[in-house]
Amino acid sequence: MLKLKTLNMEDTDMSIYQSQKAGSNARKRGLRVLPKSCGYFVHVTSRVVQQKFLFGNEEKAVFTDLLFPWADFSGISVLTYCLMNNHVHLLLWVPKAQQVRPEELFRRMERVWPERKVEAWMNAYRGAPGCLQKEMEANLLRRMHSLPDFMRVLKQGFSAWYNKQHNLYGVFWDGRYRSMVLKDTPEALFSVAAYIDLNPMRAGICKDPVEYRWSGYGQASRGQGVCRDGLTLLINFTKGCSPRELGLLAKVRKPQSLPWKTTESLYRAWLYAKGRSTEERKGSKSRRGFSSEEVLAEFAKTIEEINSL
**Which residues are CB-neighbours of 250 under 8 A, at least 6 positions away?**
77, 93, 229, 233
pLDDT at 281: 53
Contacts 24+ apart (CB under 8 A), 97-101: 97/141, 97/144, 97/145, 97/146, 98/145, 99/141, 100/75, 100/141, 100/144
- Each domain of the chain, given as residue ranges in start order, spans 14-98+145-307, 102-141
Amino acid symbol at 263: T
Average of per-residue pLDDT across 142-157: 96
- Answer yes or no: are the C-beta atoms of 1 and 307 closer than 8 Å: yes
Q: Tell me the HSE value of 134 on the side-chain side, using a 13 A CA sphere.
A: 3
Mean pLDDT is highest, among 182-186, 213-217, 250-254, for 213-217
Q: Across residues 183-195, what is the average pLDDT?
A: 88
Higher pLDDT, 212 or 263: 212
155 with 149: CB under 8 angstroms? no
CA distance 183 to 187: 9
pLDDT tens digits, residue range 29-65? 444 578 877 889 999 999 999 999 999 999 999 999 9
Q: Which of 3, 5, 1 is nearest to 270 (CA)?
A: 5
In the chain, the amino acid numbered 46 is: S
201: number of CA atoms within 13 Å, CB side?
A: 23
Read off the pLDDT of residues 95-107 as tens digits, 9 standing for 90 and up: 998 899 999 999 9
Per residue in 82-96, pLDDT (tens digit) is 999 999 999 999 999
Work out the number of other CB atoms within 10 angstroms of the CB of residue 282: 6
Model confidence at 236, pLDDT cuts 50, 70, 90, reads: confident
**Average per-residue pLDDT for the chain:** 83
* Topology of domain 14-98+145-307, CATH: Alpha-Beta Plaits (3.30.70)
- What is the model's pTM? 0.83
* Res 307 pLDDT > 50: yes
